[in-house]
Amino acid sequence: MSAGTLTVLALTVALAAFVQGSSGLGFALIVAPVAGILEPGLLPVFVLASMIPLNLYVAWRERAALDLRGAGWITAARLAATPGGLALLWLIPDRSIGLFVGIATVLAAVVSLAAPVFTPGRAAYVAAGAVTGLTETATGVGGPPLALVYQHRPPAELRATVAVCFLVGEVASLALLFATGQGSVQDLGRAALLLPAIAAGAWLSRSVHHRLDARRTRLFVLLFALVSGVVLMLGA
């Protein structure tokens, strides 16, 4: 990886950690398209591994607001769908992964922007968990379905529950990817190399997360995802 690529990734990861630490979502939506443009081989292991320390921190910080019931249903469905995400990764040629991530990102952002107000129930939790299991294992992007479920809940509840669901899912996806030969230790090393950038973004979010307008932050993330996804598709 060149110094220029590493610098761009570090800045992107720091921004993404700040956004997700503040709003509860956005890390993969920001990092995956940029990583796909710079070096498609980083997907999905690099993105999944980078999110683990961030979600550990957010889950602990917001633990009092955790929705245990929702997290349980989402996690069960997420784990059940993980093998399907691995199958998608096998079916998608390496040269097409950027295009797939771009399409998935744009569709997820459009759905999230257009979704009406609703109160989530068991069916919504299970559906969100299943879709997240497919898309996050294959591409590293799994936030939009969870954002849809919790977008009208208190910001602290969204941050805590999404962080816990992500954390369990990321560990499961990485374990399955490495067990089937789809993971690279080099990508874990690259994620570790950028830990200072993740820590910086998370630290900055600590002082503003309780004051930010979560709806506006979410809108920014989804609009960024739309632009990044289109760029990624055009460059595939």
> pLDDT digits over 44-56, tens only?
899 999 999 999 9
Query: Could you give the angle at the alpha carbon of 21 between the alpha carbons of 17 and 27, nearest 5°?
Result: 45
Compute the residue count for the chain: 236
Burial class (CB in 10 A: 0-12, 13-18, 19+), 75: buried
Q: Which one is predicted more confidently, 224 or 177? A: 177
Specify the range with the lowest mean pLDDT, choosing from 10-14, 32-36, 90-94.
90-94
Q: What does the pLDDT read at residue 98?
A: 67
Query: Does residue 131 have a pLDDT over 90?
Result: no
Q: What does the pLDDT read at residue 217?
A: 65
Query: Does residue 77 have a pLDDT over 70?
Result: yes
- Average model confidence (pLDDT) across the chain: 85
Question: Dihedral angle at the C-alpha atoms of 87, 88, 91, 93, nearest 10 degrees?
Answer: -130
* Dmax (CA) of the chain: 47
Rounded to two decimals, the pTM is: 0.81
Contact 48, 174 (CB under 8 A): yes
Give the pLDDT band (50/70/90) at residue 236. Answer: low
Distance CA 114, CA 74 (A): 22
Query: Does residue 95 have a pLDDT over 70?
Result: no
CB atoms within 10 A of CB 224: 20
Give the pLDDT band (50/70/90) at residue 86. Answer: confident
Percent of the chain with pLDDT over 70: 91
Q: What six digits make up the tokens of 110?
A: 């459009």
Helix (H) / strand (E) element for 19: namely helix 3-23
Closest CA to 198 of 30, 86, 82, 1: 30
Q: What does the pLDDT read at residue 69?
A: 95
Under 8 Å CB-to-CB from 150, ≥6 apart: which residues? 24, 67, 70, 120, 157, 158, 161, 162
Specify the range with the lowest mean pLDDT, choosing from 14-28, 82-96, 221-235.
221-235
